Copies of this chain bind each other. A is one copy, B any other.
């Protein structure tokens, strides 16, 4: 199978169109798809949230000549090729990046953040149709502290901040994988008791607390690697025994 064959399977799962649709909806920017092509047969695929030196080394050790990242391995356009991307290309490893299409896919990163917290039904805030979109609202039964403990256990993360009284009763949660929570989202989900996301800015936390809401700020990595592993397993199942490896960086959890 070639890089294009694998891209087809991946984009079947997380169509590139979702990235464009979401960029249009939020006036955003993304860079998904093939970042560096590799010719010939793909011998193995490594999946990693980010393209790092350690992930490239693990790909080499495992005989993988393709890396699939969640975050774009080139985000802002570049004027020279450097770092882990240079190393990957020199090692004749191709690179595909997902991002907003995978965040928004029906069973994408954002979906798994809510389902990992026990959601069985989710309302989508930025709804792209067919179960795709970004921002999930769902029911919960317990305290803020309960949510924190559930998160730490399911998402295996030590790094969780909570703002608000730990004993607050939480009936409804809105979650946003990555760093997608801003004042606008708080206004959109006014029926919610708790907002969960990563890299949340001070004034956004303050705004939620002024509205009587609680906030849980989790590490960006932990909020996404959980769903990315699900994606990995799904794609692996479709690659007919092709060597598939997952790279996880426990330091980032």
A159 touches B53 (CB 8 A): no
Q: With an 8 A cutoff between CB atoms, is A35 at the interface?
A: yes
Question: Which of A128-136, A161-169, A188-196, A236-244 has 4 or more CB atoms under 8 Å from chain B?
Answer: A161-169
**Oligomeric state, in copies:** 6
In the complex, residue of chain B having the shortest beta-carbon distance to the beta carbon of A178: B202
Q: With an 8 A cutoff between CB atoms, is A33 at the interface?
A: yes
Write the nearest CB–CB distance from A30 to chain B, whole angstroms: 10
What chain B residues lie within 8 Å of A78 (beta carbons)? 74, 77-78
What chain B residues lie within 8 Å of A75 (beta carbons)? 203
Across chains A and B, which 8 residue pairs bring their CB atoms closest together, nearest first?
Answer: A77-B77, A159-B161, A202-B220, A89-B89, A36-B81, A35-B80, A77-B79, A31-B79
Give residues in A with beta carbon < 8 Å to B. 31, 33-38, 50, 52-53, 71, 74-86, 89-90, 92, 158-165, 178-179, 198-203, 205-206, 209-210, 217, 219-221, 249, 251-252
